[in-house]
Amino acid sequence: MMISVENIEKKYGEVKALRGVSLDVKEGELFGLIGPDGAGKTSLIRILVTLLKPDAGSATVNQLDVVDDFRKLRKQLGYMPGRFSLYPDLSVEENMNFFATVFGTTIEENYDLVKDIYQQIEPFKERLAGRLSGGMKQKLALSCALIHAPKVLILDEPTTGVDAVSRKEFWEMLKRLQKMGITIFVSTPYMDEANLCDRVALIQDGNILTIDTPEKVTQSFAHKLWAIRSDNMYLCIHHLREHPEAESVFGFGEYLHVTWKNQEMQAEEMMNYLTGLGHTNVEVKETEPGIEDVFMDLMQKHDS
């Protein structure tokens, strides 16, 4: 295993950020830690990159203990924090040189690894990092995290606040790095990014809800799922939740995702129910569950 986490707990005063988290990441894997704000992603990542000590449990990265072997480990991992740790008053090139020097290397020495990414920002190498666009800052931060040729790359919400095009480009860069043999552990609040990972762990309130491939996670959804809409979505949620057979009703984009206690429930019955309550342009269709649906389902089960 490249990363091994066993029963990690972390508290801040009364706040339990991690409640016994365990997971393994295989060598060469692209592993996603998916969860909403405050789920505990940053706490787990800071423990893995040796910046925070767990209260209980243990973790190793590349067989090195995150507490006992922290010095050795720091040399072997690349870390991209959520808020980029760039120096805004240094230029692009100066930032790269700085990170290279800290790790006792040079840009030239590991240029092959960063070339692909760095070339995209090289035309702006004289520019101060603070003046780069979000997408370019992200590329520079990634180049800096890679400059010492780490075996493992750990990224905390690298795509948060980044536009859709840059997000896509960023994941393509991660895939290319994976092909070069780097193990990647990445956290994200964006459920759609789950499908780009080999395996994912869903985390909520300091607990891991499930760990599997994205396909298996969505296949685990055991209900028939319906997408429903009408002209008045607000009332539609309200009316559907009032139905005695309704199990869950959530808004997803322009539709509501609905499951019923009775799996035999027919579209016509739902249609009649809503039109009977005065809804117009009612649409009802069966739909395939996504990671979001599984997340909602597991969260409800965990809370109850």
Ligand X SMILES: Nc1ncnc2c1ncn2[C@@H]1O[C@H](COP(=O)(O)OP(=O)(O)OP(=O)(O)O)[C@@H](O)[C@H]1O
Which residues of the shown chain bind ligand X in the complex (CB under 6 A)? 12, 15, 17, 35, 37-43
The residues that bridge with 186 in the sheet, in sequence order, are 32, 155
User: Distance (Å, rounded) from C-alpha 131 to C-alpha 199?
Assistant: 36
Choose between 42 and 60: whose C-beta lies nearer to ligand X. 42
**Helix (H) or strand (E) segment spanning residue 145:** helix 134-146
Tokens of 290: 């996504």
The least distance separating ligand X from the CB of residue 149, rounded to whole angstroms, comes to 27
User: Distance (Å, rounded) from C-alpha 185 to C-alpha 163?
Assistant: 21
The DSSP annotation for 15-59 comes to: EEEEEEEEEEE-TT-EEEEE--TTSSHHHHHHHHTTSS--SEEEE
The least distance separating ligand X from the CB of residue 37, rounded to whole angstroms, comes to 4
The least distance separating ligand X from the CB of residue 96, rounded to whole angstroms, comes to 27
The least distance separating ligand X from the CB of residue 55, rounded to whole angstroms, comes to 12
Choose between 42 and 110: whose C-beta lies nearer to ligand X. 42
Choose between 37 and 254: whose C-beta lies nearer to ligand X. 37
Choose between 43 and 218: whose C-beta lies nearer to ligand X. 43
Place of tokens 């606040």: 161
In contact, 144 and 99? CB cutoff 8 Å:
yes
Cβ partners under 8 Å of residue 108, min gap 6: none
Choose between 64 and 203: whose C-beta lies nearer to ligand X. 203
The region that residue 205 occupies, defined by phi over 0 for left and psi between -120 and 50 for alpha, beta otherwise, is left
The least distance separating ligand X from the CB of residue 187, rounded to whole angstroms, comes to 7
The least distance separating ligand X from the CB of residue 33, rounded to whole angstroms, comes to 8
Choose between 48 and 246: whose C-beta lies nearer to ligand X. 48
Q: In Å, how far are 104, 117, 233, 285 from 75, measured between CA atoms?
A: 10, 21, 53, 53
